[in-house]
Amino acid sequence: MNSTDNDGELIRKFETLARSDVALVGGKNASLGEMIGALKSKGIPVPPGFATTSQLYWQYVGYNDIHARLSDIISEWQSNTATLAETGAAIRRLFLRGSWPPEAATKIKREYLELARAEGNMELAVAVRSSATAEDLPDASFAGQQESYLNVYGADAVLDTCRQCYASLFTDRAISYRQSKGFDHMSVALSIGVQRMVRSSTGGSGVMFSIDTETGFDKVVLINAAWGLGESVVQGTVDPDEYQVFKPLLDNHSLTPTLEKKCGGKATKAERAMFVLEDAEILQLSRWACIIEKHYDCPMDIEWAKDGVTGDLYIVQARPETVRSRDDAAVLKTYTVKEKGRVLVTGGSVGDAAVSGHLCLIESAENMDSFVKGSILVTTATDPDWVPLMESAAAIITDHGGRTSHAAIVSRELGLPAIVGTGNATQVLHTDQVVTVSCAEGDVGFVYDGTSKIGTETVDLARLSKIKTQIMLNLANPAAAYKWWRLPVDGIGLVRMEFVVSNAIRVHPMALELPGSPLLTLR
């Protein structure tokens, strides 16, 4: 058990934190403090707030005599005398029934009221987010194992919500995750971030990566955006807009280097015809992503929000990207699918692999026990509760979600092919059906009927001989440039315009010459 002697470190304002404070406030809060302290002068806006420290957590544990009972309960589970569900419920009760040490309660209330006073609203809405001391580290990428709460009003409500955050350190999924990663349940602590809410419920929000999430191509920013709170994008319950921006041209403000814009599924007909972000906002977020990436010196996974009242954009989280940035750049493995059956559904492709197998349709987390290990999971969307099941799947197919959704992020971490945002997979596909899942054909994933022939080829790029002759690529589909970017070539030698028209523009060239041509609205 950690020491709680230094009571002066119970609460820290974000602006006093830095990356070096991970052990004290967890990766999430340390990163917020780092950005406020180091990047505010570079124009990165982060909403203000404060963090409770790991020392306050240990003080709460000691004040309520939780540690000894916690150790006994964990030991019972590890010796198979109690189920995971029984273990988690018993530990959470210990925290939820606990009382706040008087000094800790006073300090949390005081910090909230100071924040509210500074913002001119004594009933200020805040986000209360968990930040485990082992969360968001390079070898621990499953952020989201603990709970976070939005739109919390009032000092007493903040105290109650902080207690719920402590209890969430022992959700079933968090216990299972730590066990699989080898973290000691008795040494992990929880910091809590209390941050002014961005009024994104009437605006928009989303996630962006400073690299392409499927190929690791480091010259683009990928942005997902949806109306309302960002939880819908992260959880994959909506099909978000997707924007791709070419980083090398961002410094030239006379250009609009947006490579692609896809309008996602929306709640109303009017919203479905609109993008969440304007062009200028897309470019602004992309520039911020580049600034943050340069500061951290690694690819980043960033959450943003747009205030629906003022229209202002904010960065609300940033963490290192933990999958593609660790890929072996010297090895190129490609998959090919031959003898394809009928296309059953399509969606966003996650990964670049392909697999054949039996489907297992699971409509809700309550039915996870019926999943057959090694099957291809079909469901509407996933959240952290699904991780143990996903670890035993051969591939994943969802109705909803984009390339930054929970299903997509976890599938990449596990090295599984996944097809997200199909729209109707749970209606079209059925349990025990034999299909082939192909993520080897670009940014669109295909589910084919039956078993297809799947070939693989692995090339060790480091072993290729260096030659004096320039080697150039011929491309038919512009999206393929991402897939082949690691090849030791000197560039693109030929791109056939008719293939660009058929693959990307998808309008007959003669139609483009007519008055009112769609070409006039393309950017």
DSSP β-bridge partners for residue 195: 49, 127
**CA–CA gap between residue 101 and residue 93 (Å, rounded):** 17
The DSSP string of 398-458 is ESS--TTSHHHHHHHHHT--EEE--SSHHHH--TT-EEEEE--SSSEEEEEESPPEEEEEE
- List of residues 6+ apart from 242 with CB closer than 8 A: 222, 223, 224, 225, 260, 261, 262, 264, 402, 403
pLDDT of residue 170: 94
Q: How many helices (H) and strands (E) does the chain have?
A: 15, 22
Is pLDDT larger for residue 34 or for residue 512?
Answer: 34
User: Domain-by-domain residue ranges, the chain?
Assistant: 7-196, 200-326, 331-458, 463-521
Q: What is the mean pLDDT of the chain?
A: 88
| Least confident span in 28-37, 261-270, 470-479 | 261-270
pLDDT of residue 446: 97
**CA–CA gap between residue 162 and residue 148 (Å, rounded):** 9
With 50 as the cut, is the pLDDT of residue 6 above it?
no
What is the pLDDT confidence band of residue 504, given thresholds at 50, 70 and 90? confident
Q: Superfamily assignment of 200-326 in CATH?
A: ATP-grasp fold, B domain (3.30.470.20)
How far does the chain reach from its first CA to its final CA, in angstroms? 58
**CA–CA gap between residue 10 and residue 22 (Å, rounded):** 14
What is the pLDDT confidence band of residue 1, given thresholds at 50, 70 and 90? very low
With 50 as the cut, is the pLDDT of residue 411 above it?
yes
pLDDT > 70: percent of the chain: 90
Which single residue is written with the structure tokens 């951290």? 296
What is the pLDDT confidence band of residue 479, given thresholds at 50, 70 and 90? low
| pTM score of the predicted model | 0.82
Long-range (24+ apart) CB contacts under 8 A made by 106-109 are 107/10, 107/11, 108/11, 108/52, 108/155, 108/158, 108/159, 108/162, 108/194, 109/155, 109/156, 109/158, 109/159
With 80 as the cut, is the pLDDT of residue 271 above it?
no
Q: Which CATH number fits domain 7-196: 2.160.10.10, 3.40.50.720, 3.30.1490.20, 3.40.50.620?
A: 3.30.1490.20
Say which CATH class 331-458 falls into.
alpha beta
Give yes or no for a contact between 54 and 190, defined as CB atoms under 8 angstroms apart.
yes
Average confidence (pLDDT) over 103-127: 96
